[in-house]
Structure 1
Amino acid sequence: MNQEFYYILQSIQDYVFQQDRKIQFLQKKIISLEKSITELQNRPPIQVERMEYKFDQLKVETLEGTLNIGLNPSDLQNIEDLALPKQNGASTPKERMVMFTEIENSINEYLSENLSSIITNAGEQLQFKDADTYHEFILQDIKKQLPNRIEYYLNQPIRSENETSEQYTNHILEQLIKEIQHGVSLFLQHLPENMKGMKTE
């Protein structure tokens, strides 16, 4: 009986000892965290007064950005709301959907057949010998912007009363093609200086 009682007391004592060690560890942890928080609170705030960038010293390893077709950021100051449907555009939702699909398919086909030559011609005018290395980047960027540009034209009051759906669609296609050609030229023209190492002498 005494031995059993002694065993129980020993077990309780071991348990209390372990709990005491855990409590001491947690207390030290709390003290350490409180000290860290106090140091962070007492740190003076960082103030950046002026930052200067020397773009000619930057090294570009990957090309990222946006090829703006149709709209440049500076043009956005004078635009009120491009998303509101206007009169004389595509008249019914069904007609609009059909036109959207036709235009998108036509532009994708146009890009497939002509984008390489557009890039090459623009590169030759700007004296770039390797302009076609940007083909995939330009293609993907145009495709990302294409739905919004089609919507923009479908919302414009440019359709006359006597104009057929086919004529209206062709008109939008012409505008988008002009935007693409102009956008490619501007993109190559405004590459960072250190990417213009590919420029011919």
Structure 2
Amino acid sequence: MHYYNWNDYLQQMRNHLNTQEKRIQELEKRVLEFEESNKNQTIVEKLEYNFDQLKIERLDGTLHIGLSPEELSSMDPSAVQLPHNPIVPFREKQVDPLIQTLNTYASQELPNRIQQLSQDYQVSVNDHLEKEIIEDIRKQFPSRLDYYKREHQLSGDTLFQTLKQEVDHSLQQFFIQEAERGGNDDEFGGS
């Protein structure tokens, strides 16, 4: 048998227990510090991209790769050296008179046509949605105008009437789809 001193054993256990308690306190402190430092961060669990449904009219801004918003806000602006580009004066682009005519049509006739189609297909449309539809149509005028000039050699009143018919047809298709979808819901143009 080995002779073992109980007092020594208890002292060793007490020392070990004290060491473990200090270690637990340090770990708890580190966890609290970590939680505090991560309080303001946004966690995104899952991102799904449907590129077939994406329509980008204009893309601008600055992309900072590898920087978090906190790092960006604390970054010294003088640390970034930007190349010196001379300012080129903006030259106003000549607006096609047909675009002006189409914009007038969009402002004066489209709101009534949208309301008429809204009633015909029993799909409610609020003012905000009506403005979005008209604005989206306006943005497409230049590209559609170029298409018909280039591909069909149309011009003047024939081109204007063709674009009006296309807009009307597109609006009708939109309202048909919304009516089939149940476009009278509050989430679609509700007040």
Q: Verify same fold: TM over 0.5.
A: no
Please identify which structure carries the higher helix content.
1
> Of the two structures, which has the highest relative contact order with CA contacts closer than 8 Å and spacing of 6 or more?
1
What TM-score does the superposition give when structure 1 sets the normalisation length?
0.43
